[in-house]
């Protein structure tokens, strides 16, 4: 379990990483640039990142709603939708489960067996990712 640094609530961490399920852990030691918000020279020359504030799924949604330009840069989605289901029994069609937010992603295998990526539409549905527009 991980505590969300934004809201203080305990969050699941089934991946055993520094991030809560469906959330973010931000590598603060490497934010900005030299002379910017943080001096990240130590990290850039091989130093270890030590600060990883965590945000749960709901706090990430609030953040991206506040700063939509950043959210729009995630053409492939911010987190997999299956993180919010305990058992993934959808075969090759992740769109059978409703999307939890507009920054969720899932996949669906099409006729040729190649997976297509879908992004949540914000209303529980799915839209084909812009990543497939050039195909």
135 and 120 inside one domain: yes
The rounded percent of the chain whose pLDDT value lies above 70 is 69
- Whole domain around residue 16: which residue ranges? 1-66
User: How far, CA to CA in Å, does 42 sit from each of 39, 53, 55, 63, 78?
Assistant: 8, 19, 25, 28, 28
60 and 93 inside one domain: no
- Specify the number of domains making up the chain: 2
E-only strand ranges, the chain: 2-3, 10-11, 24-25, 54-55, 79-80, 104-109, 115-120, 126-128
56 and 103 inside one domain: no
pLDDT band at 132 (very low <50, low <70, confident <90, very high): low
Of residues 118 and 82, the one with the higher pLDDT is 118
């Amino acid at each position: 379990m991980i505590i969300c640094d934004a809201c203080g609530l305990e969050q699941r961490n089934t991946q055993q990483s520094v991030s809560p399920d469906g959330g973010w852990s931000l590598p603060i030691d490497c934010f900005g640039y030299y002379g910017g918000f943080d001096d990240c020279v130590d990290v850039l020359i091989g130093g270890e990142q030590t600060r990883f504030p965590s945000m749960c799924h709901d706090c990430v949604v609030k953040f991206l709603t506040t700063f939509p330009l950043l959210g729009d840069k995630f053409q492939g989605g911010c987190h997999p939708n299956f993180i919010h289901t305990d058992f993934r029994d959808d075969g090759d069609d992740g769109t059978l489960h409703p999307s939890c937010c507009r920054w969720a992603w899932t996949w669906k295998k099409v006729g040729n067996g190649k997976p297509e990526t879908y992004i949540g539409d914000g209303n529980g549905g799915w839209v084909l990712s812009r990543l497939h527009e050039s195909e």
